[in-house]
Chain A
Amino acid sequence: MSNMASTFRIGTGAGFSADRLDPAVDLAERGELDVMVLECLGERTVAFGHRDRMANPERGYNAHLQRRMQALLPACRANGTRIVTNMGAANPKAAAQRTIEIARQLGLKGLKVACIEGDDVSALVARDQPFMDEPGNLSEIGKPVAGMNAYLGADAIIPALQAGADVVIGGRLADPSMFLAPLIHKFGWDPMDTRRMGAGSLVGHLMECGMQITGGYFADPGVKDVAGLDRCGYPIAEVDADGSAVITKLADSGGLVTLATVKEQLLYEVHDPSRYITPDVIADFSQVQIASAGSDRVRVSNAGGSSRPRTLKVTVGFDDGFQGEAGVSYAGPGAQARGKLAAEIVGHRLREVHGFTSDFRIDLIGVSSLFATAGRSGLGSEDVRLHVAMRSPTREGAELMLWEVESLLCCGPAGGGGFRGSIVPCVMTKSVLIDRGMVKPRLEVLVA
Chain B
Amino acid sequence: MSSQRNNPPRLIRDIAHARAGDKGNTSNVNVWAYDAADFEMLMRALTPERIKRAFPNLIGGKVERYLLPHLHGLNFVMENALEGGVNKSLNLDSHGKSWSYLILGLEIEESPGRAEAPAGSSEEA
B and A form one assembly? yes
Chain A residues lying within 8 Å of B23, measured Cβ to Cβ, are 269, 271
A223 nearest CB neighbor, chain B only: B2
Pick from B70, B87, B93: contact of A428, CB under 8 Å: B87
**A377 → chain B closest CB, angstroms:** 6
Q: When the two chains form their complex, are residues B125 and A374 in contact, meaning their CB atoms are under 8 A apart? A: no
Chain A residues lying within 8 Å of B57, measured Cβ to Cβ, are 373-375
Query: In the complex, which residues 248-305 of chain A have their Cβ closer than 8 Å to any Cβ of chain B?
Result: 258, 260, 263-273, 286-290
Q: At the interface, yes or no: A361 with Cβ under 8 Å from chain B?
A: yes
Q: How far apart are the CA atoms of A69 and B115 in the complex, in Å?
A: 54
Query: In the complex, which residues 195-218 of chain A have their Cβ closer than 8 Å to any Cβ of chain B?
Result: 217-218
Query: In the complex, which residues 48-99 of chain B have their Cβ closer than 8 Å to any Cβ of chain A?
Result: 55-58, 64, 66, 68, 70-71, 73, 75, 77, 83, 86-88, 90-93, 97-98
Q: When the two chains form their complex, are residues B28 and A271 in contact, meaning their CB atoms are under 8 A apart? A: yes
Query: In the complex, which residues 94-125 of chain B have their Cβ closer than 8 Å to any Cβ of chain A?
Result: 97-98, 102, 105, 115, 118-121, 125
Pick from A271, A361, A376, A377: contact of B91, CB under 8 Å: A361
On whether A379 and B30 interact (CB within 8 A), knowing A223-B13, A260-B17, the answer reads no
A289 nearest CB neighbor, chain B only: B70
**A47 → chain B closest CB, angstroms:** 10
Q: When the two chains form their complex, are residues B19 and A377 in contact, meaning their CB atoms are under 8 A apart? A: no
Q: When the two chains form their complex, are residues B1 and A377 in contact, meaning their CB atoms are under 8 A apart? A: no
Q: How far apart are the CA atoms of A242 and B55 in the complex, in Å?
A: 44
Chain A residues lying within 8 Å of B93, measured Cβ to Cβ, are 370
Q: When the two chains form their complex, are residues A260 and B13 in contact, meaning their CB atoms are under 8 A apart? A: no
**B94 → chain A closest CB, angstroms:** 9
Q: When the two chains form their complex, are residues B68 and A273 in contact, meaning their CB atoms are under 8 A apart? A: yes
Q: List 6 A-B contacts (CB under 8 A).
A: A224-B1, A265-B19, A266-B30, A363-B92, A371-B98, A375-B56
Interface residues of B (CB under 8 A from A): 1-2, 13, 17-19, 21-24, 26, 28, 30, 32, 34, 55-58, 64, 66, 68, 70-71, 73, 75, 77, 83, 86-88, 90-93, 97-98, 102, 105, 115, 118-121, 125
- Name 16 extra pairs, CB < 8 A, besides A267-B21, A374-B57, A377-B120: A218-B19, A224-B2, A264-B17, A264-B18, A267-B28, A269-B23, A269-B28, A287-B70, A290-B71, A370-B98, A371-B98, A373-B91, A374-B55, A379-B120, A379-B125, A428-B88
